[in-house]
Amino acid sequence: MQNKNSSLRDEIIRISGTNPRKCMLCGKCSATCPAFDGMDYAPHQFVNMIENGNIEPLLNSKSIYQCLSCFACLERCPRTVEPAKLIEAVRLSVIRKQGANHLKPDNIPALLDEDLPQQAIVSAMRKYNK
Amino acid sequence: MQRIGVFVCWCGSNIAGTVDVKAVAEALKNEPGVVFSTDYQYMCSQAGQDIIKNAIKEHNLSGIVVCSCSPRMHEQTFRKTAQAAGLNPYMVEISNIREQCSWVHKDMEKGTEKAIILGKAAIAKVNLNAPLTPGESPVTKRALVIGGGIAGIQTALDIADAGFPVDIVETKPTIGGKMAQLDKTFPTLDCAACILTPKMVDAGQSDKIRIFSYSEVSQVKGFVGNFDVTIKKKARYVKEDLCTGCGLCTEKCPQKKVPNEFNLGMDNRRAIYIPFAQAVPKVATIDADYCTMLKSGKCGVCSKVCTAGAIDYTQKDEYIEEKYGAIVVATGYNPISMDKFDEYAYNQSKDVITSLEFERLTNAAGPTAGKLLRPSDNKHPHTIVFVQCVGSRCANCAEKGKEYCSKICCMYTAKHAMLTRDKYPDTDVYVFYIDVRTPGKSFDEFYRRAVEEYGVHYIKGMVGKIAPEGDVLKVQASDLINNKQIHIDADLVVLAAAIEPDKSARPLATMLTASMDTNDFFTEAHPKLRPVESPTAGVFLSGACQGPKDIPETVAQAGAAASKVIGLLAKDKLMGNPCVAHSNELMCNGCSSCERVCPYGAITYSDKEFRMPDRTVAIRRVASVNEAVCQGCGACTVACPSGAMDLKGFANNQIVAEVDAICK
Amino acid sequence: MQINGEFKPLIVAFCCNWCSYAGADLAGNNRLAYPENVKIIKVPCSCRVNPMFILRAFQRGADGVIICGCHPGDCHYTSGNYYTRRRMSLLFSMLNFLGIEKERTRVEWVSAAEGAKFAATMNEFTEAVAALGENKRLEDLRCKR
Amino acid sequence: MQKINSTMLIEKAAQLLENGTADRVLGWKKGEFDYDITPAVFNSVDQIKKEFVFGDFCGANLSKYLVKETRKGDGKVAVFLKPCDTYSFNQLLTEKRFDREKVYAVGISCEGMADIFKVKQIAGDGIVSVSSDGENVKVETLYDGEKTIKLSDVIAERCINCKSRKCVAYDELMGEEGEIIDSDRFDMVSKIESMSEDERFGFWQNELSKCIRCNACRNVCPACTCEKCVFDNPDSCAQNKAPADSFEEKMFHIIRAFHVAGRCTDCGECSRVCPQNIPLHLLNRKFIKDIDTFYGEYQAGAQVGSRAPLVDYTEGDIEPGEAVMKGESENA
């Protein structure tokens, strides 16, 4: 398991700019996470699984879209591991697969929802139009 | 010109096997200053030493070079030999032709050649050696202990027991420290007061121990064996010699709204107070910040009720000057502030408390008389959550917590949890931990008892958030074993706050020129081999000022520090290391470069008058080295731009002579 | 120094009394060989080494100079080697700036337990200096034999 | 703002003596030639009116002379300090080389000084007289008669790469306080660093072999105020009086630069006075640049009492091996 997927592991660590080895397995990130209930993998698991190169399950997990980027984990982590940045990095590495999840302007009207803030649409467009 | 004798040792075949010792002795015969040269099978043997002694007398030698094993082996031996023959021991130089020649080389020719060069280097050095005499300084046979907690008390008792007078300086009105605030002590659960107060009484009654309570060290001068210390005795507005400690004034004082620091502000005391019943010295103190008499001149109740006439509103701070031979630092620790840990709601709810506050809540002499009642509504809590590592093991968050493990929290939390379950079986007790660290005699057994016999719920995971809601505290935490986020409605939350050195430690370290680490813990002279000594000679460390410690460790270290002090005070005179730095005042610029690199604070400056070449007199600032304090590292010699600083025994010209001899 | 036509560099090693000199002794105890042309000078602490000594050694014919001290944090005098580190960083950088081969100077931390490291360091350093040949750029012709 | 001129300073100097602020004044007077301005002590108003000069050739840094001058008698010494001189002034105070109480410091703003070498390059040798009106320099030479050169063409290198026009120490300021400048002063150091080892050696061998050991660089250097210089001291093992060998040329300049490392304020006096025009300031700048890269930016003399980098350390300092590599490659 150790060196499996090591290039993806390095890529994710590089994007996140954090060092998962600093983690002392206290679980405060998961304790503090407001989106925990909707997650299949908890923030502390992200840290550990990325460090171990066990990244495949994370790429397909619900968690990466459940994370609110509220940065509570980042704020409270006693070791400055910053799990939110790692989750964001996994999310980015999924999004950056070009063409895999294309969002075209034409598709947007069908997705529109009255309660959806406009900013969310703009940012979704930015993220998914590549 | 020196008259040098050269003595080449065979060391059996150890040297002679690879080095032609006869050839070495022969070659060195012609070196400048050499008047005698010989070889022998075992120079360190009695017979070998006799050869040296006889040669010293016969040839009137002024210096000696022994080509033999490492100076780390026999330098002392040969110095003593020389001394026995009337030669200054520092006129001996060892040329290491065993460890650094015969043992690492195989070729006889090359080995011999190298041995000759090493011998020449030693001869070149001896030519420039001067007799050195270790400086002597007297020892003041009195010790100062700064801090009157269990560390300071134990150190003082042990020193006094050996017959030396010792003074304790304590900033609080009483000695006792943190231990006096504790309820029970792990792992045996004896009551802290029961084991501490007899020691306090012993210290108070010992004719060898003086206690300066409500006092602090304001100035330290001098060096090992000869410290001049100024102690500031703060005005307590009560004459210590008259006060009987009856406590009547503390009952009658009309100012009732003073937060009681002994109970960590969980109840109030009067403006005149005795911190606790077993205080030593048992003398009242007036808190000038709250006393109406001192603030506005109206009141005077305490003075009226005091039958001993001990109240003195005109008392002033008093400065006492005393000489000491040794100083022990025992300034202890404090829990860190919880203000910055917003997520634990310490400032929002009275029912989130620190472990030290919990101690007071369960202590029979505490604000609730020992009943576990929660501070907000005095109700009995049924669900209690303990959070470990609050502020400990925090990387890169210096403004919030500490990077180190505070060491004592695992054990006292186990103790708190166990005692709570024992006294109140109707409570649910949860302990959230990252790791349970219990290395210590009977420590792990103690923790296991809390789990196995008392049913404390230990959950691996950290608490992420505590939110006060109505009269419960919503605790949101990780359960890492079950990979769950769990929610508990707690009545009381106890935070195991990290501990940090007392704030007084840093200014004190500056006064003592003792070094500190980045966390403000005092640094030991050697982390393994000299754990109770500071690098500054004559300054010793006791207790948590050196690092987090529990009571057994503190007492052990206090005893160790005391034994070091006793060892020092038992001497009448201190013999220094004669290889110390010295400054040539004519060349000194007074620029302070040397002072800044000296790890021992051995360098001081004074203004001196000098006759200048143009016959005028100028006053210049020049450095001088305290030989009793200098350890001879030589950092100053290179820092000095003018070369005014040199090191005896390793002088510039001696080292250069060695370089020259080697490179010739 | 030329010996039988083969260049053997002369190495001056300043060793602190507490760690590196003891490390060198340990190399001896364990009979770990290194070249004969390594000559050790004992100093109380690496911070005793004045840049002047280093230049002097080169002047008098040394081909390489190495300073050995306790590992940072382990100094017998608590902070001596920290000063050595700064002084030598600047001095060596300056020598390099003047075009004097950087391989001729080195600082190495050798503890009293690292006999093997001492021998290995000396072997490796001697080899590196040997590869450069004689010290020509900081020599004093008057001191040549 | 009017440029500080001779008249203003003479007036100020005379006033300081007359009103008793100072007992004597450290200033400049004409030397053998117009451009050869030398530091001088003035004891009377008369003397000031007769001899005191100030102009574009008054590059001399007066701070060093305070060490000796303050030791004479009790009264105060008034001194005029250009911005770069104020840094030396502070550095000397940090090293407690004189008593601040005995000095009355007048900071004067400065827009750069002229370099006589540059003038000579344009006008040729045999200069009989030189004068400057703040814009143009009039030069009369033995061979070519009178010539007018633009002052901006002969501004000294150290002033083109001026690090700071801010007076960091004074009791009284004449002119504007000035700003710290983002200069390109390390460009030449970087250029040498990026040369090959052989080129570097060649460059310095060529430069340092010009040295005649006149000791001017040492004698003018405000960091070289040692009571006895190691090079003059037979017991120092470093005594040497003449560059008898290429080794000694290098040794002198390496040791001198090392002795002032972390204390040198980069005032550039060494290069100004070198009769052989050796760019000695580059050695000092190399140390300054390395100190900045290895240990963080440090300007000697910016504050009184700051801890010089060589009498300081951190546990995480760079190792010498890495430092040498970094000192070579940091050419950004």
Q: CA of D246: how far to CAs of C137, D159, D207, D250, D251, in Å?
A: 9, 31, 11, 7, 9
What pLDDT score was predicted for residue B130? 94
Q: How many domains would you assign to chain C? A: 1
Would you call C56 and B656 a contact, using CB atoms and an 8 Å cutoff? yes
Q: Are residues A40 and A75 in the same domain?
A: yes
- Domain boundaries, given as residue ranges, for chain D: 6-115+155-174, 187-329
State the average pLDDT over residues B149-172: 97
Check pLDDT > 60 for residue B640. Answer: yes
pLDDT tens by residue, B324-366: 999 999 999 999 999 888 899 999 999 999 999 999 999 999 9
pLDDT tens by residue, B363-398: 999 999 999 999 999 999 999 999 999 999 988 665
Would you call B121 and C78 a contact, using CB atoms and an 8 Å cutoff? no
8 A C-beta contact, residue B39 and residue B10 = yes
**Domain assignment of residue C134, given as a range:** 2-143
Which residues of B have a CB under 8 Å from any CB of D?
A: 586-593, 596-597, 612, 616, 618-621, 639, 641-644, 652-653, 656
Question: What is the spatial distance between Cα C69 and Cα C115, in angstroms, rounded to a whole number?
Answer: 13
Q: Which of B277, B252, B240 is nearest to B365 (CA)?
A: B277
| DSSP labels, B76-93 | HHHHHHHHHTT--GGGEE
With a cut of 0.85, is the ipTM above it? Answer: no
Which are the contacts of D89, defined by CB distance < 8 A and separation ≥ 6? Answer: D63, D66, D79, D81, D105, D169, D301
What pLDDT score was predicted for residue A1? 43
Does any CB of chain B come closer than 8 Å to the CB of residue C83?
A: yes
B224-233, B293-302, D124-133: range with lowest mean pLDDT: D124-133
**Helix, strand, or coil (residue D60):** coil
Question: What is the spatial distance between Cα C8 and Cα C5, in angstroms, rounded to a whole number?
Answer: 9
**Helix, strand, or coil (residue B52):** helix
Would you call A78 and B465 a contact, using CB atoms and an 8 Å cutoff? no
Report the gap between the CA of B496 and the closest CA in chain A (Å).
15
Which are the contacts of B275, defined by CB distance < 8 A and separation ≥ 6? Answer: B172, B173, B174, B176, B261, B262
Q: Give the mutation candidate from C98, C105, C135, C140 for the D interface (greatest D CB count, under 10 A).
A: C98
Answer whether D touches A (≥3 Cβ pairs < 8 Å): no
pLDDT tens by residue, D142-183: 888 888 999 999 999 999 999 999 999 999 999 888 899 988
Torsion of CA B454, B457, B461, B464, to 10 degrees: -110
Check pLDDT > 90 for residue A87. Answer: yes
pLDDT tens by residue, B527-583: 788 899 987 889 999 999 999 999 999 999 999 999 999 999 999 998 888 999 999
Q: Give the mutation candidate from D249, D252, D324 for the C interface (greatest C CB count, under 10 A).
A: D324
Confirm whether A14 is domain-assigned. yes
Confirm whether A1 is domain-assigned. no
What pLDDT score was predicted for residue C122? 97
From chain C residues 36-65, the ones with a CB under 8 A of any chain B CB are: 36-37, 39-45, 47-53, 56-57, 60-62
Q: Give the mutation candidate from A30, A73, A74 for the B interface (greatest B CB count, under 10 A).
A: A30
Q: Are residues A60 and A124 in the same domain?
A: no
| DSSP labels, B166-188 | EEEE-SSSSS-GGGGG-SEETTT
B451: tokens are: 């789990």
Closest CB to B396: pick one of A25, A76, A80. Answer: A80
What pLDDT score was predicted for residue B286? 96
CATH number of the domain within which C64 lies: 3.40.50
What pLDDT score was predicted for residue A2? 47
Q: Which of D54, D1, D10 is nearest to D175 (CA)?
A: D1
Mean pLDDT of chain B: 94
Report the gap between the CA of B121 and the closest CA in chain C (Å).
9
Q: Are residues A36 and A20 in the same domain?
A: yes
Spell out a b/e string for B475-487, using b for 16 or more CB atoms within 10 Å of the CB, else e: bbbbbbeeebbbe
Check pLDDT > 80 for residue B480. Answer: yes
From chain B residues 482-521, the ones with a CB under 8 A of any chain C CB are: 515
Q: Which of A54, A49, A51, A46 is nearest to A4 (CA)?
A: A54
Does any CB of chain C come closer than 8 Å to the CB of residue D252?
A: no
Residue predicted with more confidence, B68 or D236: B68
Report the gap between the CA of D152 and the closest CA in chain C (Å).
32
Would you call A30 and B485 a contact, using CB atoms and an 8 Å cutoff? yes
Strands B272-273 and B285-286: antiparallel
What pLDDT score was predicted for residue D330? 55
Check pLDDT > 80 for residue A6. Answer: no
Which are the contacts of B625, defined by CB distance < 8 A and separation ≥ 6? Answer: B580, B581, B582, B583, B602, B603, B636, B645
B660 chain-C contacts, CB cut-off 8 A: 56, 60
Q: How many domains would you assign to chain A? A: 2
% of chain A with per-residue pLDDT over 70: 88
From chain B residues 371-390, the ones with a CB under 8 A of any chain A CB are: 389
Question: What is the spatial distance between Cα D117 and Cα D127, in angstroms, rounded to a whole number?
Answer: 11
State the average pLDDT over residues A38-67: 92
Would you call B589 and D227 a contact, using CB atoms and an 8 Å cutoff? yes
Report the gap between the CA of C3 and the closest CA in chain B (Å).
10
Give the pLDDT band (50/70/90) at residue B610. confident
% of chain D with per-residue pLDDT over 90: 72
B38: tokens are: 């010989």
Ramachandran region of residue B448, left (φ > 0), alpha (ψ -120 to 50) or beta? alpha
Chain D residue with minimum CA distance to B618: D71
Would you call D71 and B619 a contact, using CB atoms and an 8 Å cutoff? yes
What pLDDT score was predicted for residue D24? 93
A80 chain-B contacts, CB cut-off 8 A: 395-397
Check pLDDT > 90 for residue D243. Answer: no
Peptide bond into B641 cis (omega under 30): no
DSSP for residue B144: E
pLDDT tens by residue, B62-95: 999 999 999 988 999 999 999 999 999 999 999 9
Structural domains of chain B, with CATH: 4-126 (3.40.50.960), 143-332+501-569 (3.50.50.60), 333-500 (3.50.50.60), 581-648 (3.30.70.3270)
Q: Are residues A49 and A69 in the same domain?
A: yes
Q: Give the mutation candidate from C40, C58, C84, C88 for the B interface (greatest B CB count, under 10 A).
A: C40
State the average pLDDT over residues D117-130: 87
Q: Are residues A115 and A55 in the same domain?
A: no
Q: Are residues A106 and A92 in the same domain?
A: no
pLDDT tens by residue, D84-102: 999 999 999 999 999 999 9
Q: Are residues A40 and A88 in the same domain?
A: yes
**Helix, strand, or coil (residue B565):** helix
Answer whether A touches C (≥3 Cβ pairs < 8 Å): no
Would you call B121 and C39 a contact, using CB atoms and an 8 Å cutoff? yes
Q: Are residues A28 and A92 in the same domain?
A: yes
Ramachandran region of residue D141, left (φ > 0), alpha (ψ -120 to 50) or beta? beta
Does any CB of chain D come closer than 8 Å to the CB of residue C61?
A: no
pLDDT tens by residue, D261-316: 999 999 999 999 999 999 999 999 999 999 999 999 999 999 999 999 999 999 99
Check pLDDT > 80 for residue A97. Answer: no
pLDDT tens by residue, C88-137: 999 999 999 999 999 999 999 998 888 999 999 999 999 999 999 999 89
Confirm whether A78 is domain-assigned. yes
C61 chain-B contacts, CB cut-off 8 A: 663-664
Question: What is the spatial distance between Cα D304 and Cα D302, in angstroms, rounded to a whole number?
Answer: 7
Q: Which of C16, C141, C8, C6 is nearest to C84 (CA)?
A: C16
Check pLDDT > 80 for residue D1. Answer: no
Check pLDDT > 50 for residue B488. Answer: yes
Chains interfacing with C (3 or more CB pairs < 8 Å): B, D
**Domain assignment of residue A59, given as a range:** 6-97
Q: Which of B197, B332, B202, B355 is nearest to B276 (CA)?
A: B197
Question: What is the spatial distance between Cα C142 and Cα B383, in angstroms, rounded to a whole number?
Answer: 88
State the average pLDDT over residues B615-625: 89
Q: CA of D157: how far to CAs of B342, B373, D4, D62, D281, in Å?
A: 57, 78, 21, 19, 10
Confirm whether A57 is domain-assigned. yes
Report the gap between the CA of C29 and the closest CA in chain D (Å).
29
**Helix, strand, or coil (residue B236):** coil
Please give the helix or strand (H or E) that residue B624 lies within, else none. Answer: strand B617-625
Confirm whether A30 is domain-assigned. yes
pTM, rounded to two decimals: 0.72
Report the gap between the CA of C99 and the closest CA in chain B (Å).
23
C1: tokens are: 């120094």
Report the gap between the CA of B658 and the closest CA in chain D (Å).
12
B31: tokens are: 């070196």
